Structure 1
Amino acid sequence: MFEVLVFVYEHYWRGDACPELEHLSRKLSAHGFEADEIHEALVWLDGLNLAAQSVRSDAPTASAPSPLQSADSMRVYSVREQDHLGAQCLGFISFLESAGVLPPAMREIVVDRAMAAPGGPVAVDDLKIIVLMVYWSFGEEPDALVLDELCDDGDERVAH
């Protein structure tokens, strides 16, 4: 599924530039993706579109805080979320939040879409794709340093 999402991200600049799901399905099939991968990805993308539309209708911008959430509030993850996301993903989400690049509304969509990902626990590399897709769905591009963190393969980093 994540290979399909990466393909969609790379080929359609923004979520609103992406064709309807039926047309997208045909394009993905023509590019050689398996039918079950395509189906999982399209169901996942449909959920992403619904979540993004919900946030857009509730707030003037994607990064606007929820009126129900104060600046002093803290997100507590359920046991199910902790099990599915794992410590590394939860730490990465916390890192993005503390850096000020993942506002609460977007964080909730990231968590929702990560919970919708098959299997578990979710790998950090897969979570990075989810974060990119959430930005993509809002037609926003993360700043260069965040984009570098999301696209960087930490295994190949060399400490100086």
Structure 2
Amino acid sequence: MFEVLVFVYENYWRGNACPEPEQLGRKLSAQGFEDEEIRAALQWLDELSFATQGVPLQQQADASSATVLARTPGEAALAPAADSMRIYSAAEQDHLGAECLGFVHFLEAAGVLNGGLREIVIERAMATAGQPVALDELKIIVLMVHWSTGIEPDALVLDELCDGRRDRIAH
């Protein structure tokens, strides 16, 4: 499924540029992806679209990040208080593993994920098969959440999400 998601990300830079699921399925099939992979990816993308649909975003003045706004006026939906703490359930800890949870924390501390986007990333990660989720798979999920919401990560974040550490040379 993740190969399909990477193909979609690379070929449709914005979520709203992606064709309808039926047409996308035909294009993916023509690219040689297997039907089961295509079905799983299309369902995952549909659920991602539902998770991010109607989540109004407010772009920051410097355009470096976006904040998830309330779904109803005057209410801070998905946005945690500054002094709140996210406690992961046992199922989340088992499914995501320590490496992925540490990476999510890193992205939050770096300002790449706010509380609302973090919850969407965790929900989409929990919707994947396999346990625990590999770090490379989580990075694809983070990219797809940004892709679906129309938030363009800055170059350094994109480098961190796309570049494997195995290939890096220490200076």
Q: Offset of 1:119 from its aligned partner?
A: 1.1
Quote how far apart the aligned CAs of 1:55 are. Answer: 2.3
Within the alignment, does 1:96 sit opposite 2:107 as a pair? yes
Give matches, 1:17-32, under 5 Å: 17-32=17-32
Instruction: Tell me the CA shift for residue 46 of structure 1.
Output: 0.5
The one of 61, 67, 88 equivalent to 1:63 is 67
Q: Where in structure 2 are there 5+ consecutive unaligned residues? A: 60-65, 71-75
DSSP 3-state at the match of 1:55: coil
2:7 aligned residue: 7
Unaligned runs of 5+ in 1: none
2:111 equivalent to 1:107? no
2:117 is aligned with 1:116: no
1:91-128 deviation line (CA, Å, top 9, x unaligned): 00000000111011111110000000111100000000
User: Aligned letter for 1:82?
Assistant: Q
Kindly report structure 1 stretches of 4+ aligned residues shifted beyond 2 Å: 59-62
Name the TM-score, length of structure 2 as normaliser.
0.88
Q: In the alignment, which residue of structure 2 is the partner of 1:41? A: 41
Displacement of 1:72 in angstroms is: 1.1
Letter in structure 1 aligned against 2:29:
S
Shift of 1:54: 4.1
Kindly tell me the number of residue pairs found equivalent between the two proteins.
158
Q: What's the offset of the Cα at 1:156?
A: 1.4
Residue 159 (structure 1) shift: 1.6
What is the TM-score when the length of structure 1 is the normalising length? 0.94
**CA distance in 2: counterparts of 1:81 and 1:40, whole angstroms:** 21
Percent identity, aligned pairs only, is 66
Give the drift of 1:60.
4.9
Structure number with higher helix proportion: 1
